[in-house]
Amino acid sequence: MVAKNVPKIEYVPTICPYCGTGCGLNFVVKDGKIIGVEPWKRHPVNEGKVCPKGNFGYEFINREDRLKTPLIKENGEFREASWDEALNLVANKLNEIKAEDPNKLGFYACARSPNENIYITQKFARVACGTHNVDHCARICHGPTVAGLATCFGSGAMTNGFDSIMEADVIFVIGANSMEAHPLFGRKLIKAKKNGAEIIVADPRYTPTAKLADKYLEFKTGTDVALMNGMMKLIIDNDLQDEEFIKARTENFDELKKVVSEYDIDKVCEITEADKERLTEITMDYAKAEKAAIVYSLGITEHSHGADNVMCTANLAMLTGNLGRIGTGVNPLRGQNNVQGACDMGALPSDYVGYRKVADQETTDWFNNYYGTDLPAKPGLTLIEMMNAAHAGDLKLLYIHGEDPVLSDADITHTKEAIANLDMLVVQELFMTDTAALADVVFPAAGWGEQEGTFTSGERRVQCLHKAQEPPGDAMLDWKIMEQLAIRMGEDAHPEQFHYETSEDIFNEIRECAPIMAGMDRKRLDSPEALHWPCPSEDDPCQPLMYAEKFSRPNGKAIFMPQEHRGPVEVTDDEYPLLLTTTRILFHYHAAMTRRCETLDNEVKTGYIEINTEDAKELGIIDKEIVKASSRRGSIEISARVTDNIKRGIVNIPMHFSECAANMLTNSKSLDPKCKMIELKACAIKVEKME
Amino acid sequence: MSVKVNDKYYAYSADNEIKDEGEYGGVVTTIMKYLLESGTVDAVLAVEEAFDLYDAKPVLITEPEDIIKSAGSLHCGTLNLAKFLTKYLDGARDFKVAVTCKPCDAMTIRELMRKGRIIEDNVVLVGVNCGGTLPPVPTMKMFKEVYGVDPANVAKEEIAKGKLIVETKDGEEKGIKIDELEEEGMGRRENCQRCDMNIPSNADLALGNWGVIGELAGKATFVEVFTEKGAEVLNNVIDEKLVETAEPIEKGIEIRDKINNVMVKQANKQKEKDFAGTTGDILDVLNMYKEEMSTCMKCYGCREACPLCYCEDCCLETEGPEWVPGGYTPAAPFFHLTRMVHMADACTNCGQCSEVCPCEIPVSKIWATVNNKVKEIFGYYSGVDNGDEPLPFTEFKLPDNR
């Protein structure tokens, strides 16, 4: 039967490529092209519901300006090139620099790409190029979580699943704006509240999440350690700690008790500018609850003391025995859709796949044996260190996959100078981003909807993606690009290590190398529920709750890691009197993809600086006025959004908009020594009227 | 055979495979197959199981042998096919299509036909009775926690005699009264609980298992013909000897009417509860639900899911004047008011909007409350034949004083 004019239409289930909640949705594919999305009501995480990015975030996929051919820069301009030419050019350069010193090469993995691509990126850096200089954007996001929680618990991930929050009696949200940043997790907060939970939100801004709180605590950016230490002293003074839990399951309590004893409430309120009564109230509510959960995100991690902040949340949870049960836990909300996966895959200078440590000689020996390589047991450089090394002329080549550091790293001027210093910048991308524009060679990559693979969400749920359409033009799968490079680099690059028939083959190799994912058989994995790690065997149920019996440290106990308040690296002064924080907004996820989605772009076309009504009045600034914002790094012109929803003395610039880029102002010299995080959420600026 | 409008029959497929595989005699499957094979339609729009029986997806079938894959009812199939038909198939402008439809699918499709968004001549509506659908994820949870059954082990679910009955793959059966479940906040979707159309009398044909008693119980479908188009279709499949029919037993007809009446009565009781505490006028409703609506994150999900929201250039997104300022959450009350004023008169209570709302706003209930008032004041009942009654928001009904 020949049917005339009838299109071929089908639904292809997939996982959203934006935030770490990991919502499911259906692609609508018409005659081989993705034309829309429809709800996937069967999906356990979001049940068919999505935020505006879920509804319109597909609109970039088939845009005309998708990169379709390799590009080579000649005389300051890009020209189209064949894959052969572009791959050979890069392969030769990699060999040249590798011969000099493999540690002059640097690799950024893409935390939005499927696990399989990321695994190959770190494998390429290590096996083909002989360096541990591979990292990704978790460094400037939840790196402190990984470092901090790994120190306290033995594993650096969220301790519970997302659904667990709905069973909590009290939820303490600090430095997280779930209603904008993880909306479908925010929904679970709404449901928890309907279930009778008390929601406490601590934030310098009165965000949409703060609006749904039962109790809101305004406090000063960068003072989280003091705040939480103050809470812990109050708890101990009132004898509300969980003695049984502390004795049976933790170590180092005495040290914690000693350190927090200095943080009496008046001193804490002076540092944090928090209201004493409100702070006391929320502390008692948290401590007295049967089941209390902590939720946090970048508000506490993107600081020079981010790891300290994270360890304080762990301390709080340990102190009150709120771990290892549904409705409790320490719940960091991972940013990118696959940043959890990027960490899991070992796109880290200090870890191989599955968090196996480079510095451990036995582990490095194992991998050298597995890959047929001769890698040293010495960790490589982090993102920031790579960029600094480039700036200093010590790093010669950067190969960046699906990341836009020119927009998202602190101090854009510094980033651009660093990049200019490189012998070669290779960028693998979907679009001509600010970073791609500075590249010497651009490789067009296949993107969301154009490949099979897996993403791992913030609750450690590993979910399958399905291919819905072909990539545009000559765009290629990331892992195939790297195979081609290895082949062209020759025998020493171990090209045979990069040959796979399908992405599933790559996943099976990952299972061999990473005990936490060993049990992830395809049948159970390729289902709406999928599987959570740790998943040690095919018999294991692979469920989200961790630490019910013991922690992941060698002796099975968690450890208190008391911290002292340090505050931001750059403090305000007479010249730069305002403290700048940077944020994300609901309608955009960074820039490359969502600003190219017509509906989302229409919703929020450009950036703004949020400034408190009183501060604005003092400066003579009115709403929507274009003002000049400057810091020691640079200055921008930006529209003012005058509002009561931000604390006096604090200003906020969403980081999505390169024409008024927040990171022109931020400070890259503000590293957290524990995890090399930069202080994206605190630097000193001034705001002035335009002349 | 000469089938006429308002005729009623017991019917079953003459093909044994279809008769066994299909629901209650496989008549829907047979009809759809015939419509394709005969060229009466170019495609069939139906609902199919995707991952499992909790995962329903629309499917556009062009090969007759694929029809059987969509056989059987999926109680967790909560989608509204009117959206798919309008948005992705251009309202059947370019080809003819037969659609299996629940009453709410049919109501919405009729409204869209009225507005010229779906081409009536190109669509055959094969209606199926519906007592309500179940939201997939909460239902799986209910099966696990209340029925004590592993959701993966469920072979079939059934709503019969006021109970939700679950049959496992091992052949075990367990039924619980729907009333009891719904009192605990489980069971059917919220909008289904107040829906008063169980037999799609606005389709061309309506098929279901109510009222089939005697020898053919469980083996035949009760068919009722509502339009000339439906009569012709049924006539043809009978003439082609694809479907066999029998006179329905008088008592069976009574039983069918009784079941329907009981359910309509229950729905009306639910409506009283749902619409209590407000006059139903838009401003009063806005005020009553302002707390819920004030959590709106402006995902546009309600607009995207609503089949009656089809404006290409939606005024919620216009640049100026800024009725609903871009980038601000919660969305301004004007967001909801605008949608209400645009389509609350035609709302068919299909429930898609509530289902997709991430902030758990009871959108469907809010709209149904306003639509109830529309019914009261203007006497316009969306989704059914209103004769010459104009759509209340589209045209004034004035006395003809010529």
pLDDT digits (tens, 9 = 90+) for B225-244: 999 999 999 999 999 999 99
Instruction: Report A:372-391 residues touching B (Cβ under 8 A).
Output: none
Instruction: Report the length, in residues, of chain A.
Output: 691
CB contact under 8 A, B88 and A54: no
Task: Tell me the chain A residues in contact with residue B360 when contact means C-beta distances shorter than 8 Å.
Answer: 187, 190-191, 194
Select the residue from B47, B296, B312, B359 to test the A interface by mutation, using most A Cβ atoms within 10 A: B359
CB contact under 8 A, A42 and B137: yes
For B99-122, what is the mean pLDDT? Answer: 95
Residue linked to tokens 């709209």: B367
Flag whether residue B277 sits within 8 Å of chain A, measured between CB atoms.
no
Sign of CA dihedral B219, B224, B228, B229: negative
CB contact under 8 A, A42 and B50: yes
Q: Is A363 exposed, middle or buried (0-12, 13-18, 19+ CB in 10 A)?
A: middle
For B249-266, what is the mean pLDDT? Answer: 95
Nearest by Cα to B129 from B6, B222, B29: B222
Task: Tell me the chain B residues in contact with residue A190 when contact means C-beta distances shorter than 8 Å.
Answer: 295, 359-360
Interface predicted TM-score of the whole assembly (ipTM), two decimals: 0.96
Q: What is the largest CA-CA distance in chain A?
A: 82
Cα of first residue to Cα of last residue in chain A, in angstroms, is 73
Distance in Å, alpha carbon of B398 to nearest chain A alpha carbon: 40
pLDDT in tens, B310-345: 888 888 887 666 778 889 888 989 999 999 999 999
Instruction: Report the length, in residues, of chain B.
Output: 402
Nearest by Cα to A646 from A231, A136, A96, A203: A203
Question: Which of A52, A184, A211 has its CB closest to that of B300?
Answer: A52
Select the residue from A185, A603, A643 to test the B interface by mutation, using most B Cβ atoms within 10 A: A603
- What is the distance between the alpha carbons of residues B309 and B304, in angstroms, rounded to a whole number? 7
Helix (H, G, I), strand (E, B) or coil at A689: strand
Task: Tell me the chain B residues in contact with residue A47 when contact means C-beta distances shorter than 8 Å.
Answer: 135-138
Question: Which of A7, A586, A602 has its CB closest to that of B317?
Answer: A602
The DSSP element (H or E) to which A481 belongs, if any, is helix A478-489
What pLDDT is recorded for position B399?
85
Nearest by Cα to B158 from B133, B179, B191, B195: B133
Flag whether residue B49 sits within 8 Å of chain A, measured between CB atoms.
no
- Quick one: closest CA in A to B36, which residue? A1
Distance in Å, alpha carbon of A215 to nearest chain B alpha carbon: 16
Written as one string, the DSSP assignment of A6-44 is: ---EEEEEEE-SSBTT--EEEEEEETTEEEEEEE-TT-T
The least confident of A502-506, B239-243, B354-358, B390-394 is B390-394
What pLDDT is recorded for position A1?
46
pLDDT in tens, A133-183: 999 999 989 989 999 999 999 999 999 999 999 999 999 999 999 999 999
Answer whether 0.90 is exceeded by the pTM: yes
Flag whether residue A98 sits within 8 Å of chain B, measured between CB atoms.
no
pLDDT in tens, A506-565: 999 999 999 999 999 999 999 999 999 999 999 999 889 999 999 999 999 999 999 999
Flag whether residue B94 sits within 8 Å of chain A, measured between CB atoms.
yes
The β-bridge relationship of strands A558-559 and A250-251 is parallel
Cβ(A559)–Cβ(A152) under 8 Å? yes
Q: A636 forms bridges with which residues in the sheet? A: A629
Q: DSSP 3-state helix, strand, coil percentages of chain A (rounded to 5)?
A: 35, 20, 45
Instruction: Report B:113-172 residues touching A (Cβ under 8 A).
Output: 135-138
- What is the distance between the alpha carbons of residues A577 and A40, in angstroms, rounded to a whole number? 49
**Lateral strand order in the sheet of B173-177:** B154-160, B163-168, B173-177
pLDDT in tens, B117-157: 999 999 999 999 999 999 999 999 999 999 999 999 999 98
Task: Kindly state the tokens that stand for A667.
Answer: 């400070």
Cα of first residue to Cα of last residue in chain B, in angstroms, is 47
Question: Which of A28, A47, A179 has its CB closest to that of B137?
Answer: A47
Q: How far does CA B264 lie from the centroid of its chain?
A: 15
Flag whether residue B299 sits within 8 Å of chain A, measured between CB atoms.
yes
- What is the distance between the alpha carbons of residues B336 and B300, in angstroms, rounded to a whole number? 10
If pLDDT is split at 50, 70 and 90, which confidence band does B306 have?
very high
Instruction: Report B:331-360 residues touching A (Cβ under 8 A).
Output: 355-360
Instruction: Output b/e per residue, A536-566; b: 16+ Cβ within 10 A.
Output: eeeeeebebbbbeeebbbeeebbbbbbbebe
- What is the distance between the alpha carbons of residues A81 and A369, in angstroms, rounded to a whole number? 38
Flag whether residue B262 sits within 8 Å of chain A, measured between CB atoms.
no
- What is the distance between the alpha carbons of residues B165 and B175, in angstroms, rounded to a whole number? 4
If pLDDT is split at 50, 70 and 90, which confidence band does B15 have?
confident
Give the HSE-up count for residue B21: Cα atoms under 13 Å, Cβ half-sphere: 13
CB contact under 8 A, B360 and A605: no
Select the residue from B41, B55, B66 to test the A interface by mutation, using most A Cβ atoms within 10 A: B55
Residue linked to tokens 């989200």: A544
User: Phi and psi dihedrals of A637, rounded to 5?
Assistant: -105, 135
Flag whether residue A186 sits within 8 Å of chain B, measured between CB atoms.
yes
CB contact under 8 A, B300 and A6: no
CB contact under 8 A, B95 and A6: yes
Flag whether residue A536 sits within 8 Å of chain B, measured between CB atoms.
no
* Structure letter (DSSP) for residue A571: P
Task: Kindly state the tokens that stand for A424.
Answer: 């070669």
pLDDT in tens, B16-60: 877 777 677 789 999 999 999 999 999 999 999 999 999 999 999
* Segments of chain A with pLDDT less than 50: 1
- Quick one: closest CA in B to A588, which residue? B327
For B9-13, what is the mean pLDDT? Answer: 93
Question: Which of B36, B301, B329 has its CB closest to that of A586?
Answer: B329
